[in-house]
Amino acid sequence: MTTTKERQPTDFATAVERLSKVSVDRHFDAYRDVAWDDPEMAIDPEDPRFELWLDDPLRRTDWYARQPAEVRSRIALHRVATAMRIGWEFENVLQRGLLEHAYWMDGRQPELRYLMHEIAEECQHMLMFQEFANRTGMDIRGMPRHMKLASRMVVLLSRTFPAAFFMFVLAGEDPVDYIQRKQLKEGGSHPATERIMRIHVTEEARHIAFARHYLRRQVPALHGLRRRQLAVMAPIIFGTMARLMAFPSPHTARTFGVPRPDLRRALRSPSGRRLLSEVAAGPRRLCVELGLTRFPYSLLWRVMGVWDDPRAPGGPDEVAPLMEAAAG
């Protein structure tokens, strides 16, 4: 009788080969597939189509509601461009880590080819993100300096503790995927923003699927100490990255003079706390499945603000819907 452990390597290889095939059949180019010079793609900082999405904590402040329409448009554009610059920096860290991880792999391993596809796709995402940010004409900055410095440790994890590195991968990709899918569902976005998001969620579906496959294969095989370390690291990684991806950056707040009390109240409000929990719902359910959230580790998830009922709605969790999105 074939056991689950015996089937797992075959299942993993089959899934990775499928992801590689879809990467060939369904991929995009940052300049061929985004009509940057089309008049409707022109970026005007006062375009009313630039509006903060409904769940953005800043949109819920009285301060934002009092701003003239043209100022709200500038704030929303700065917010989007900052998110794209942060995305550029995250993809940069991801690529460096994947290259380091792939460097030591046997060339016959099926995931090597897939990882090279993913690295190539992340290059195209970086080109899209930076092109958009540059076309705003605004002073756009990304992650805080301390996070940029800490990113070097993340790259190192790809070789010394790959499971933790792929937790970081999910922590950056899953919240953005959740947010962008909700924004696309809301509708009304600027054509350039909408096109970039549609390309991004299509290809990120594959990246998220691979990270989950990898963790489902690797985490059960971790020995006791490594497993405990990962259980401690996961909520810290997800809590930190969820805030970075879902909340306005300090630079955006300073640029437009957002009063600190207003912003603090919005971030700590029930809707702000719910947003944090929702953007981390997919990775949290995976960690529950992998047995990484048992007491006392669940306390860390609560401290980081990303704990909730594991059945709470979130981004797509299983490979099938992700693959449908990737193919569609």
44: left (phi over 0), alpha (psi -120 to 50) or beta: beta
Annotation: CATH topology of 7-327: Ribonucleotide Reductase, subunit A (1.10.620)
**Residues 6 or more apart from 264 whose CB is under 8 A from it?**
none
Q: What is the pLDDT of residue 274?
A: 92
Report the 3 state secondary structure along 115-158: HHHHHHHHHHHHHHHHHHHHHCCCCCCCCCHHHHHHHHHHHHHH
Helix (H) or strand (E) holding 293: none
Residues 171, 242 contacting (CB under 8 angstroms): yes
The Cα–Cα gap between 5 and 12 comes to 11
> 180-194, pLDDT tens digit by residue?
999 999 888 999 999
Q: What is the pLDDT of residue 312?
A: 40
The Cα–Cα gap between 266 and 253 comes to 13
Tracing tokens 């294969």 back to the chain, one arrives at 217
> 260-317, pLDDT tens digit by residue?
999 999 999 989 999 999 999 999 999 999 999 999 999 999 999 999 854 443 333 3
Residues of the chain with pLDDT under 50: 1-7, 310-328
Q: pTM above 0.85?
A: yes
Q: 221 is written with which tokens?
A: 């095989």
Q: What is the pLDDT of residue 323?
A: 35
Q: What is the pLDDT of residue 107?
A: 85
Backbone dihedral angles phi then psi of residue 2, each to the nearest 5 degrees = -80, 130
The helices-and-strands tally (H runs, E runs) of the chain is 14, 0
Q: What is the pLDDT of residue 188?
A: 87
128: left (phi over 0), alpha (psi -120 to 50) or beta: alpha
The Cα–Cα gap between 161 and 145 comes to 24
CA dihedral 9, 178, 29, 210 (to 10 degrees): -10
Q: What is the pLDDT of residue 4?
A: 40
Neighbours of 6 (CB within 10 A): 9
Question: What is each CA distance from 70 to 3, 59, 65, in whole angstroms?
Answer: 62, 14, 12
Residues 245, 176 contacting (CB under 8 angstroms): yes
Question: What is each CA distance from 39 to 43, 132, 192, in whole angstroms?
Answer: 9, 14, 11
Q: Please name the amino acid found at residue 78.
A: H
What are the residue boundaries of the structural domains of the chain, listed by start? 7-327
